[in-house]
Amino acid sequence: MDRPDKTTHFGFRDVPLDDKQRLVNSVFHSVASRYDLMNDLMSGGLHRVWKDIMVNTLDPPRGDRPFALLDVAGGTGDIAFRAAKAAGTGFHATVCDINLDMLRVGEARAVARHLDDRVSFIEGNAEELAFPDRAFDGYTIAFGIRNVPRIDRALSEAFRVLKPGSRFLCLEFSTVDMPGLDRLYELFSFKVIPPLGRAVTGDAESYQYLIESIRKFPKPAAFADMIRAAGFSRVNWQCLSCCIVALHSGWRL
C-alpha cells in the first residue's frame, strides 16, 4: 500500500502520488482534439518514423494467424492503426487509455480508415488492466509510460497480461546523446514547444508539462532495470534519432 503522503513528479513539480493522474488527465483532455496535429508539428513528422520502427520491431504476423495486440496509453490509435495495416487478417488490436477524449478521437479515426473491425478502444488504467492473465500476444506503449504515476505497477500489469513467449515494447522520449544537438534540443523544447502549444491548442501549460516530464523520466539503463524487475527477460533498448527517443524491449518467457 502506498503511503498517502508519497509524492511523485508532475513535470518539474512534486505532487502527491494520488494527484498526478488527475493532472495528467486534464492535460490530455485539453489537447485531445489537436493532439495528432501537434505531434506532427513538434517532431517535424519524426514521430511517424519512430512509430513505424516500433511496429516493424513488433512484426505482427502477415497471414491469418491470430495475434492480439494490447496498445496501452494508446490515445488516438496511432500504433494500433500502423500495426493493423502491417498485419494480416488474424490481427486485432485493443487500444486501452485512461482518457475518453483521446479514445473518442481514436474511434472516429478508426471509422474513417475502415479499421474499426480490427481495432477496438477501451477505457482503462495501465496500472490495473481489466484483462485476464496471459491474454495478449504483444503489448505496446508509446509515449505513455512517463505519464503513469506508478510505473512499476504498469510494468507488472504488462507482464501479467502477456502470453509466455510474447513481447513488451515501449517507445519513450530519452536523453539526447550528441553534444551540440542536446543544447539545440533543449532550446527547441523549452522555447518553441510551449508557445506552439498555445498557438495550436490554446494551452501552453500542457506542453510545458510534456517537455518537463521527458526530463524527469529515468535514463534508458535505469528504465531497463525496472522492466527486468517486472519479470521480463532479454531486456534491451535501441536509441532512435540520437536518443531523442528510445525503443525498449522485453520478453515474457
Ligand X SMILES: C[S@@+](CC[C@H](N)C(=O)[O-])C[C@H]1O[C@@H](n2cnc3c(N)ncnc32)[C@H](O)[C@@H]1O
- For ligand X, the binding residues (CB under 6 A) are 21, 24, 28, 72-75, 78-79, 97-99, 102, 125-127, 142-144, 147-148
Question: At its nearest, how many Å lie between ligand X and the CB of residue 195?
Answer: 19
Judged by CB, which is closer to ligand X: 55, or 68?
Answer: 55
Judged by CB, which is closer to ligand X: 210, or 227?
Answer: 210
Judged by CB, which is closer to ligand X: 97, or 137?
Answer: 97
Question: At its nearest, how many Å lie between ligand X and the CB of residue 61?
Answer: 22
Judged by CB, which is closer to ligand X: 89, or 237?
Answer: 237
Sign of CA dihedral 126, 130, 135, 136: negative
Closest residue to bound ligand X by CB: 75
Question: At its nearest, how many Å lie between ligand X and the CB of residue 64?
Answer: 27
Judged by CB, which is closer to ligand X: 44, or 165?
Answer: 44
Question: At its nearest, how many Å lie between ligand X and the CB of residue 94?
Answer: 12
Question: At its nearest, how many Å lie between ligand X and the CB of residue 26?
Answer: 10
Judged by CB, which is closer to ligand X: 77, or 220?
Answer: 77
Question: At its nearest, how many Å lie between ligand X and the CB of residue 99?
Answer: 3
> Cα separation of 250 and 201, whole Å?
36
DSSP of the chain: ---TT-EEEETTEEEEHHHHHHHHHHHHHHHGGGHHHHHHHHHTTHHHHHHHHHHHHH---SSS--EEEEEET-TTSHHHHHHHHHS-TTEEEEEEES-HHHHHHHHHHHHHTT-TTTEEEEE-BTTB--S-TT-EEEEEEES-GGG-S-HHHHHHHHHHHEEEEEEEEEEEE----STTHHHHHHHIIIIIHHHHHHHHHS-HHHHHHHHHHHHHSPPHHHHHHHHHHTT-EEEEEEEETTTTEEEEEEEE-
Judged by CB, which is closer to ligand X: 109, or 252?
Answer: 109
Question: At its nearest, how many Å lie between ligand X and the CB of residue 233?
Answer: 24
**Residue 220, all three cell numbers:** 534508458
